[in-house]
Homo-oligomer: A and B are copies of this chain.
Amino acid sequence: MSKHTIYYTLTDEAPALATASLLPIFQAFAKEADINLQLTDISLAARVLSLFTDRLPEDKQVEDGLSFLGELTADPDANFIKLPNISASIPQLTATIKELQSQGYEIPDYPEAPATDEEKEINSRYSKVLGSAVNPVLRQGNSDRRAPAAVKGFARKHPHSMGKWQKTSQTHADYMRDGDFFSSEQSVTMDKAQEVRIEFVNKSGEVDVKKTLPLLEGEVLDGMRMSASKLRDFFEQSLQEAKEAGIMWSLHVKATMMKVSHPIVFGHAVTVYYKEVWDKFGDLFDELGVNPNNGIGSVYDKIKTLPQSTQDEILESIHDCYEHRPEIAMVDSVRGITNLHVPSDVIVDASMPAMIRSSGKMWGRDGKTKDTKAVMPESTYARIYQEVINFCKTNGAFDPTTMGTVPNVGLMAQKAEEYGSHDKTFEVQENGTMRVRDAEGNVLMQHDVEKGDIWRACQTKDAPIKDWVKLGVTRARNSGTPAVFWLDAERAHDNELRKKVKLYLQDHDLEGLEIHIMSYNEAIRFSMERMMRGQDTISVSGNVLRDYLTDLFPIMELGTSAKMLSIVPMLNGGGMYETGAGGSAPKHVQQLQEENYLRWDSLGEFLATAVSFEELGIKQDNAKAKVLAAALDRATEQLLDNNKSPSRKVGDIDNRGSHFYLTMYWAQALATQTDDAELADKFASVAKALVENESKIVEELNSVQGKDAGLEGYYHMDLDAVTKVMRPSATFNEILAAI
């Protein structure tokens, strides 16, 4: 690769659509600094197709963009901009397969219950694209996320809406007090590099080696169990409590990322809530292949082949449940989609902050918002949401105009604490013992388990921890902000990390820094107390908390996590600049298809690209790149100040209109800067042309709105067709082409 190449990822859904408009703009500017901005396809469809290169004809093969970038992470010059992608659930995967098949790609169906060797092989291939499959490959560094000053300043001047909290709100977070992963966690640090075995021992003493794991010296290994029977008891009790109190019930998991454990948890919720349905039709469902782990939606899908009278009977039984069960929070009350419909619809790290921002209420069946029991069975992180809820009941909603900020330094490198770790998660098939033994056969940890329990292991290597401590201290030093290591004194894993953090902190000069190590409840409370008073606090957290906190705080502070600056300083020296932690926004795609209006806000792309250019400029001594970066940041500030972000409704500028304004401001900023006369000269005329044609371009962009966009497909759209839709202004396109 050229040292001046930046890789820009093509992903899925709204960000992919926006890329069709935005990338040509970035490229037009970048080439003036000899930067080569290269598109790399890591969309779900591309990842699926790349699994079957051996089966597809040459003209239908696609390059494995993800593997390419994965290898690039080792390069000290690596520089890439990563947009949000789909972490596929099984329903999303099967939909993608179906769409690709309809486009003539001869790829096999996904075998949900693989029986033959071939099916198992296919299943194993597909497992590589399920869930959180992209991040573990690319995130070869720890994480540095913060609200850029321009964004924070904008939120203070133009605060987003924050629902008022009632002191009498009945909303609360509910979680297991016993029998969950938290209460069973065991953890051990390797005193030498070795291979350990994860084994299941049945009641007859037969040993089944589930997995062997090569571990490094200093690596931390955890094992933990969730009891299926206690989980089901907990669900039943939580449903009864919600019913009795007359509030709604909602489930908040992360089935996409925790792709083995959380669908099972979700499935238990479905079969407990709809207990009578399963009591009555469970055998029939088994025959039909209904999988509760895919949601109650799976019932609707699979019963279509049944006689109408049986279908009616089943639907009636489902509706009977609504009579004596609490109301379920809705994902889409207009279309009648409940919280238990599809596991990928409610994602805890986004759904909980959204609820907290909305007075602790969720949407009911009648389209009204109501107090809710927010159920997150696993208590490890659920407790922080209860802490936030209690805080808001006591102190009222946070005020975006005065609140401080909580940036995050997250442990992430080398798949640290990758909790979804599907390859180390097992649904136990019979009563017995799960254990981990070292190379000498010593038992490092063990759990008594029962059929149906979920057992999982988790790895965290030492080098990333050391780097994470360093990054935390560096950020505290550079920002002059107190930093809190979130390590829970009641978690076995965290206690291993506490030892390491205390040790590695000694490597740094801490003079004048405020560094704390706190349990989660303490840490979030401390951060909130400060935040309420306008003070900033860095959260230095593990991987899952990184994910949760970088939605929770930004959504409260900025109204969205998409506006965060998200940097991955790679262990090897390269950098990844991530954008829009707020997901890939399926609803935006729907709106574009129906109304040719894309509400996606590319702010994250603006911010990330500026940092990417700046880093390249510094590393490769490319002065023009630095000038481009500084001007882009000024343009972004101006865009925010002038309120030229996409609105939400037809008639106003959308994503494309905001790209136009960014371009205009960027060109103006370049024209007026004095660091590089050549660039100033070059862009003076561009700026002039854009300003003169402003109303014409906006008119051209907006005139397409309000009608069907005429796009086909969803996961694998035709890029040319998308480009046509996303670049409808001939005037704008000409000016760009002329640069």
Instruction: Tell me if B167 and A174 are in contact (CB < 8 A).
Output: yes
Instruction: Tell me if B390 and A241 are in contact (CB < 8 A).
Output: no
Q: Is A290 an interface residue, CB under 8 A from the partner?
A: no
Instruction: Tell me if B172 and A170 are in contact (CB < 8 A).
Output: no
**Copies of this chain:** 2
Q: Is A247 an interface residue, CB under 8 A from the partner?
A: yes
Contacts of A393 in B (CB 8 A): 172, 390
Q: A residues 509-530 with Cβ under 8 Å of B?
A: 521, 525, 529
Contacting A168 at CB < 8 Å: which of B245, B390, B525, B529?
B245
Q: Is A394 an interface residue, CB under 8 A from the partner?
A: yes
Kindly supply a per-residue 1/0 record for chain A positions 342-381, scoring 1 wherever the CB is within 8 Å of any chain B CB and 0 otherwise: 0000000000000000000000000000010100000000
Known contacts A390-B394, A394-B386; is A247 also within 8 Å of B170 by CB? Answer: no
Task: Give chain B nearest CB distance to A713 CB in angstroms.
Answer: 46
In Å, the complex CA distance between A167 and B247 comes to 11
Instruction: Tell me if B373 and A168 are in contact (CB < 8 A).
Output: yes
Task: Give chain B nearest CB distance to A652 CB in angstroms.
Answer: 36
Q: Is A166 an interface residue, CB under 8 A from the partner?
A: yes
Q: Which residue of B lies closest to A490 (CB)?
A: B533
Instruction: Tell me if B241 and A167 are in contact (CB < 8 A).
Output: yes
Task: Give chain B nearest CB distance to A706 CB in angstroms.
Answer: 42
Contacting A241 at CB < 8 Å: which of B168, B241, B525?
B168
Q: Which residue of B lies closest to A371 (CB)?
A: B168
Contacts of A245 in B (CB 8 A): 166-168
Contacting A170 at CB < 8 Å: which of B170, B525, B529?
B170
Task: Give chain B nearest CB distance to A146 CB in angstroms.
Answer: 27
In Å, the complex CA distance between A170 and B521 comes to 22
Instruction: Tell me if A373 and B174 are in contact (CB < 8 A).
Output: no
Instruction: Tell me if B390 and A167 are in contact (CB < 8 A).
Output: no
Instruction: Tell me if B373 and A172 are in contact (CB < 8 A).
Output: no
Task: Give chain B nearest CB distance to A380 CB in angstroms.
Answer: 15
In Å, the complex CA distance between A373 and B168 comes to 8
Contacting A172 at CB < 8 Å: which of B168, B241, B371, B525?
B168
Contacts of A525 in B (CB 8 A): 525
Instruction: Tell me if B172 and A394 are in contact (CB < 8 A).
Output: yes
Q: Which residue of B lies closest to A387 (CB)?
A: B394
Q: A residues 243-290 with Cβ under 8 Å of B?
A: 245, 247
Instruction: Tell me if B168 and A168 are in contact (CB < 8 A).
Output: no
Q: Which residue of B lies closest to A533 (CB)?
A: B490
Can you show 20 pairs from A to B with CB atoms below 8 A apart? A166-B241, A166-B245, A167-B172, A167-B241, A167-B245, A167-B373, A168-B172, A168-B241, A168-B247, A168-B371, A168-B373, A169-B170, A170-B170, A172-B394, A386-B394, A390-B390, A390-B393, A390-B394, A521-B529, A525-B525
Told that A168-B245, A525-B525 touch, could you supply 10 new A-B pairs with CB distance under 8 A? A167-B174, A168-B172, A168-B241, A168-B371, A170-B170, A172-B394, A386-B394, A390-B390, A390-B393, A521-B529
Nearest first, the 10 A-B pairs at minimum CB distance are: A168-B245, A390-B390, A168-B170, A167-B172, A386-B394, A168-B247, A170-B170, A167-B174, A167-B241, A390-B394
